[in-house]
Structure 1
Amino acid sequence: MKNLERNKSLDLIKWIALLSMIIDHAWYVLPAELQEPFRWMRIVGRLAFPLFCLAIAANVRRQPVGHPGGLNYLGGIFFFALISQQPYSRFFEGNHLNILFTLGLGLVITQAIHHLKPTLIAAGITALAIAVVYRPILSFGLCGALLPAALLLAIQARSEAAVAATWPLAALLAVLANTGSGLLLWTDLPVTAQTGIAAAALAPILGLVLLQIRLRLIWPVGTWMYPIYPSHLLLLGLLPLACQ
């Protein structure tokens, strides 16, 4: 396939997603007495996952329909998902699978919807089944795995009715991926938690606006972004030890 011209708007989205993720994770290593005053870092972090999903959706949409799919793209995500799992588990001290597994499953589902090839449809159904089975330990859960596909449909929407249906769906999935059933407790949540939910809901709309921006110069976000994920978890995990 002929290489597509680089979309600088997508690079901007990836930069914002990457920086907001690091800001979010940096909150966890703050001293306990600073965590509440710096709660805004967690709110900023609610932008990260929806914007990563939007980047996946926009990249898939740029692939000509019928193309067998980005195997290198998918392979890179799952390769670094495996590498990142140990640093992720140590940093968050849990048994959840890291975000790259969710993004990888979401990519497979999104490609199946976009290309509608039998092999990719079968792969998409398999990815969906895996997301359903592993949703209790999958970062951002089943809604997270479905969000890139919902954003693809939103980007492709042409009629006003389609836009009115797809973008609210994407916003809802973004909120559910970030909060789960916590959304039902909206009125009982503190203002900072409500603000975080609002940030997650607005992230897809922000991404749509960013896609319309035409930039001349921006540092491309390439495959170097993959090792950044486990590396920043390792470095942040070492900070408390270095400060002792």
Structure 2
Amino acid sequence: MKNLERNKSLDLIKWIALLSMIIDHAWYILPTELQEPFRWMRIVGRLAYPLFCLAIAANVCRQPVGHLGGLNYLGGIFFFALISQQPYSRFFEGNHLNILFTLGLGLVITQAIHHLKPTLIAAGITALAIAVVYRPILSFGLCGALLPAALLAALQARVIETRIVTWSTAALIAVLANTGAGIMLLPDLPARALASISAAALAPLLGLALLQFRLRSIRPVGTWMYPIYPIHMLLLNSLSITWA
């Protein structure tokens, strides 16, 4: 199979996802008295995960059905997920698994749905089972693992009615992944919660709009993005300790 031509719009989406993630994480090291005035950083951060998932879905969607690609991509995700877990646990001081585990499971599920090969279907079912079992400690939970597949369905929709349903479903799953189902049950949501919900819901539509851009040039987001994940957390953690 020939290598697919690089999609510069996808690089733009990855850049926005990467920068919004770093902005989100940087909020945690702000002095306590600055956290509330800079709450907008957390709202910007709600864009990151849906855009990362859209990048995965768009890459899978471009693959000819039956011709599996991205094995190195998948291997890189899980390799750096393992490397990133210790810096992630130190930074967030919890027992959750980092975002790369969720993205890796989501990629396996999405490829299984797209290619429909028996071995991939078995792998997808296994990945889904893992996401169900580990959902309490999986970053963005079960919805996070399902979001790339939901976005794949949205990208593949051709009939306008189907597009509306699939993109609405993807937006809902993005909200549930980012905020959890509990926030949707609150009778009177505060303004910052509404802002977070809106950002998460609009992220897939923002990504769809960005995919329509035809950029002439943009710096590619390559495999260097993997080590950036643990490195930026180590750096932020060091800054937090220094300022403290």
Is the TM-score greater than 0.5?
yes
In the alignment, which residue of structure 2 is the partner of 1:226?
226
In the alignment, which residue of structure 1 is the partner of 2:101?
101
What are the superposed Cα offsets for residues 15-62 of structure 1, whole Å, 9 maximum, x if unpaired? 000000000000000000000000000000000000000000000011
What are the superposed Cα offsets for residues 86-108 of structure 1, whole Å, 9 maximum, x if unpaired? 00000000000000000000000
Aligned residue type for 1:190: P
Provide the rounded CA distance (Å) in 2 between the counterparts of 1:43 and 1:23: 10
Q: How far did residue 186 of structure 1 move?
A: 4.6
What are the superposed Cα offsets for residues 113-161 of structure 1, whole Å, 9 maximum, x if unpaired? 1101111011000000000000000000000000000000000100012
Q: 2:222 aligned with 1:216, yes or no?
A: no
In the alignment, which residue of structure 1 is the partner of 2:54?
54
Q: 2:82 aligned with 1:82, yes or no?
A: yes
Q: How far did residue 214 of structure 1 move?
A: 0.5
Change (3 A) 1:74 1:101: same
Q: How far did residue 190 of structure 1 move?
A: 1.6
Q: How far did residue 187 of structure 1 move?
A: 4.1
Provide the rounded CA distance (Å) in 1 between the counterparts of 2:186 and 2:42: 17
Q: 2:178 aligned with 1:181, yes or no?
A: no
TM-score with structure 2 length normalisation? 0.98
Alignment: residue pair count: 244
Provide the rounded CA distance (Å) in 2 between the counterparts of 1:217 and 1:185: 44
Q: 2:199 aligned with 1:203, yes or no?
A: no
Identity across aligned pairs (percent)?
83
Q: How far did residue 63 of structure 1 move?
A: 1.1
Helix, strand or coil at the partner of 2:200: helix
Q: Contact conserved, 1:102 with 1:140, CA < 8 A, in 2?
A: yes
Helix, strand or coil at the partner of 2:91: helix
Provide the rounded CA distance (Å) in 1 between the counterparts of 2:219 and 2:123: 33
Q: Contact conserved, 1:47 with 1:203, CA < 8 A, in 2?
A: yes
Provide the rounded CA distance (Å) in 1 between the counterparts of 2:241 and 2:91: 13
Q: Contact conserved, 1:141 with 1:177, CA < 8 A, in 2?
A: yes
Q: Contact conserved, 1:9 with 1:211, CA < 8 A, in 2?
A: yes
TM-score with structure 1 length normalisation? 0.98
Deviates more, 1:59-68 or 1:78-87: 59-68
Q: CA RMSD in A?
A: 0.9
Aligned residue type for 1:175: V
Provide the rounded CA distance (Å) in 1 between the counterparts of 2:240 and 2:166: 43
Q: Which segments of 5 or more consecutive residues in structure 2 lack a partner in the other structure?
A: none
Provide the rounded CA distance (Å) in 2 between the counterparts of 1:102 and 1:13: 19
In the alignment, which residue of structure 2 is the partner of 1:110?
110
Provide the rounded CA distance (Å) in 1 between the counterparts of 2:110 and 2:240: 39
| Alignment map for 1:129-148 (pairs within 5 Å) | 129-148=129-148
Provide the rounded CA distance (Å) in 2 between the counterparts of 1:106 and 1:184: 23
Provide the rounded CA distance (Å) in 2 between the counterparts of 1:62 and 1:181: 32
Provide the rounded CA distance (Å) in 2 between the counterparts of 1:182 and 1:46: 17
Provide the rounded CA distance (Å) in 2 between the counterparts of 1:222 and 1:53: 16
Provide the rounded CA distance (Å) in 2 between the counterparts of 1:21 and 1:120: 30
Provide the rounded CA distance (Å) in 1 between the counterparts of 2:21 and 2:202: 16
Provide the rounded CA distance (Å) in 2 between the counterparts of 1:41 and 1:68: 38
Q: Contact conserved, 1:186 with 1:194, CA < 8 A, in 2?
A: no
Provide the rounded CA distance (Å) in 2 between the counterparts of 1:163 and 1:21: 28
